[in-house]
Amino acid sequence: MFPKIINELINNFQKLPGIGKKSATRLTMHLLGGNQKAALELAESLTTAVNGISNCSLCNMLTDTDPCILCTDRSRNENQLCIVADTQDLFLVESTKEYKGHYFVLGDLLSPLDGIGPDEIKFPQLKEYIAGKEIEELILALNPSAEGESTIHFLSSQLSNSVKKITRLSTGLPFGGDIEYTSSLTLGNALKRRYKVDD
């Protein structure tokens, strides 16, 4: 129906989370049929971001400096470590202003059926990170989903002897939900009411 080059752009938009064929087609038509200058600025901005962003060698968050600004912030509590699935979740936790420790970004959650095991969630890097510090509390701020629960169980069983205390967010977060869609107030309250993870 569409020329090949347009179909390729539609297909690429569909690779984004939450974008189906209709939305991908609408975005493509808007960019190509509207202000071409704005479309080119978007393309340039995307290229700049892709080329300028990498993972922090310490905490694994997406950053434009290495180590990132959070890892080099000496005012943060080095005895607390908050584990999150991705950089977006890190900034959501940070936006609550309830947490002043350090972070580690897994990059994903365990999902054996999808081929995502301990290596894919940077577990070796996490173990190395913890080995060099005296972590008094490890906070597992992960989605209350099947994958999140599996990851919480794995991390708590593997790291219980390496840290003094392991806690997780309050179950005020709905099971099967995403931290991404949780308000800052709800997430902040969940951080306040975190509890110890039992092995």
* CB of 190 closer than 8 Å to CB of 170: yes
- Tokens 């971001």 correspond to what residue? 49
| Model confidence, pTM | 0.79
DSSP 8-state secondary structure symbol assigned to residue 174: P
Cα(136)–Cα(139) distance, integer angstroms: 10
The rounded distance, in Å, linking the Cα atoms of 183 and 188 is: 8
Listed in order, the ranges of the chain carrying CATH 3.40.1360.10 are 62-196
What is residue 90's predicted lDDT score, i.e. its pLDDT? 97
Q: What is the mean pLDDT of each run of 10 residues along the chain (199 residues)?
A: 89 94 93 86 93 96 96 96 97 94 97 93 95 92 89 95 90 64 70 70
> Residue 180 and residue 92: Cα distance in Å, rounded?
7
Residues of the chain with CATH 1.10.8.420: 4-52
Tell me the two tokens of residue 183.
């308000």
Topology (CATH level 3) of domain 4-52:
Helicase, Ruva Protein; domain 3 (1.10.8)
Domain 62-196 = CATH 3.40.1360.10: yes
